[in-house]
Amino acid sequence: MRKPKVAVLGLGIAGSSIAATLATRGYSVVAFEQFVPLHERGSSHGDTRIFRRVPHEGAVYVELAERSYEGWKRWNSTAQAQLFWECGGIDAGPDGSPMVQAAESLCRQYEQPFELLDGREFNRRYSYFRLPDAWRVVYQPASGVVCPDATRAFLHEMARNAGARLVHDARILDIVASSHGVRVRTIYEQVDCDVLIVAAGSWLPRIFPELRIPLFPERRVIAWYPFQCPAGSAFQRSPAFVFDSGGGWYGMPTPDGQIKIGHDKHFNEPIDPEVPVRDPDQRDAELLSDCIKQYFNGVDNVPAAIKSCIYTNTTDRHFLIDRHPDHKNILFFSCCSGHGFKYAPVYGEIAESMLTGNTWSGMDLFQLDRRSTAITRFSD
Ligand SMILES: Cc1cc2nc3c(=O)[nH]c(=O)nc-3n(C[C@H](O)[C@H](O)[C@H](O)COP(=O)(O)OP(=O)(O)OC[C@H]3O[C@@H](n4cnc5c(N)ncnc54)[C@H](O)[C@@H]3O)c2cc1C
């Protein structure tokens, strides 16, 4: 049977994974991105993201991470650059932290290797950390760091090698759906396809204003701090970290020898993705440097670099992956809410299951009209 012709809107991590996977599986794929390759206007750029092998967000994510873990290793074996470093990772926080409890109980439930430490023992092993002695620390050896820019470049090459047409600097301006297919238009061309997959990140609500899609783009800031790995704890063995304190810190050592820090809420500043995000200022640097001052030893608390970017949140912080309510040949694919990069290897497979009508367990949690409880995340 002929496979449908698929158009993909957006080449962030979701669109890039979907375009590459579907093209390698024999679909005819054309993908449009409004900006230049590897641009920094969405949420998928940069040097590093955390991969947590057993994510504390809930069971559905553990299953996505299970398959993604194999996918990252597979991609690592074929990519020119290293895309995934299995350097371990921790979820840490005060006794009673729901996030740390969830990490521990999901590791037990899924029989994944982990160690439960207190802050004092963890600091003894990694002397540049200064966690409170009584904190609980769930250490997972199979967690690590993935590399966004290198991954997108790898996926674009994979997609092109499999025959996909990737068109950059070409915003989709108009979408017309009928029972026969979907017609999309950029300023350069008009393309007819059987299915359109909209992986537009924070632009999704603007593309379908009539649906009032509940996605809320906010400004975030991340900073890099110079750091000399002490002997015996080189980058490859320095764990990524999330701390359930002060609203939620996260970070990781980066391949160029720095510590990168972000705050899950930052100042919760709503933004319009059409307007480039405001550059960081002193107040942003002070907020992020607080994490260095509180939880690290011997790390300079003046950032060497600092950048703004975008988080796109749903209210329950689950993803949004569904069909358009009136046009079944339009799919929405938003791996949003600040934790979606790590599952890149499975997005193409999920998209294919939606095209073929096969079910992928747990996806009802990502539907537009779901009634769900919020993910387990950092305490406020
Ligand atoms: C600071 C920060 C830290 C994070 N940390 C982690 C982490 O540690 N671990 C983790 O797993 N995840 C993390 N995430 C989350 C993850 O990076 C994002 O969830 C993910 O990158 C979102 O990808 P996306 O493809 O859905 O959206 P985007 O990256 O925003 O991509 C959407 C694309 O669509 C394009 N587009 C929009 N409209 C149009 C149009 N009309 N025509 C053509 N193109 C269009 C946009 O230009 C954009 O390129 C983090 C995110 C941020 C911002």
Q: What is the mean pLDDT of residues 57-67?
A: 97
Q: Which residue has the higher pLDDT, 2 or 52?
A: 52
How close is the Cα of 42 to the center of ligand 1, in Å? Answer: 5
- Ligand 1 closest atom vs CA 335: 26
Q: Which pLDDT belongs to residue 18?
A: 98
| Residue spans per domain, the chain | 86-143+215-313
How close is the Cα of 298 to the center of ligand 1, in Å? Answer: 33
| Max CA distance (Å), the chain | 64
Q: What is the mean pLDDT of residues 161-170?
A: 98
pLDDT tens digits, 127-163: 899 999 999 999 999 999 999 999 999 999 999 999 9
Residue 365 DSSP one-character state: G
How close is the Cα of 86 to the center of ligand 1, in Å? Answer: 23
Of 146, 166, 339, the one to substitute when testing ligand 1's pocket (max ligand atoms within 8 A of C-beta) is: 339
Cα 109 from chain centroid?
24
380 band by pLDDT with thresholds 50, 70 and 90: confident
The domain made up of 86-143+215-313 is a member of CATH 3.40.640.10: no
Q: Residue 91: which of 248, 267, 223 has the closest Cα?
A: 248
Q: Which pLDDT belongs to residue 229?
A: 64
Of 48, 85, 191, 203, the one to substitute when testing ligand 1's pocket (max ligand atoms within 8 A of C-beta) is: 203
Q: Which pLDDT belongs to residue 235?
A: 59
Q: Which helix (H) or strand (E) holds 100?
A: helix 98-109
pLDDT tens digits, 86-103: 999 999 999 999 999 999
Q: Which tokens belong to 82?
A: 């290293």
Residues with beta carbon inside 6 Å of ligand 1? 9-15, 32-35, 41-44, 49-50, 171-172, 199-203, 207, 220, 222, 262, 309-311, 334-336, 338-342
Q: Which pLDDT belongs to residue 176?
A: 98
pLDDT tens digits, 194-251: 999 999 999 999 999 999 999 999 999 999 999 876 554 555 678 999 999 999 999 9
Question: Residue 152 and residue 159: Cα distance in Å, rounded?
Answer: 10
Question: Residue 108 and residue 371: Cα distance in Å, rounded?
Answer: 27
Q: Residue 273: which of 6, 48, 10 has the closest Cα?
A: 10
pLDDT tens digits, 102-116: 999 999 999 999 999
How close is the Cα of 13 to the center of ligand 1, in Å? Answer: 6
Q: Which pLDDT belongs to residue 234?
A: 57
Q: What is the mean pLDDT of residues 122-127?
A: 93
Q: Residue 3: which of 36, 29, 31 has the closest Cα?
A: 29
DSSP string across 104-146: HHHHHHTT---EEEEHHHHHHHSTTB---TT-EEEEETT-EEE
Q: Which pLDDT belongs to residue 209?
A: 96
Question: Residue 173 and residue 186: Cα distance in Å, rounded?
Answer: 5
pLDDT tens digits, 3-55: 889 999 999 999 999 999 999 999 999 999 999 999 999 999 999 999 999 99
Q: Which pLDDT belongs to residue 14?
A: 98
How close is the Cα of 84 to the center of ligand 1, in Å? Answer: 18
pLDDT tens digits, 341-359: 999 999 999 999 999 988 8
Q: Which pLDDT belongs to residue 42?
A: 95
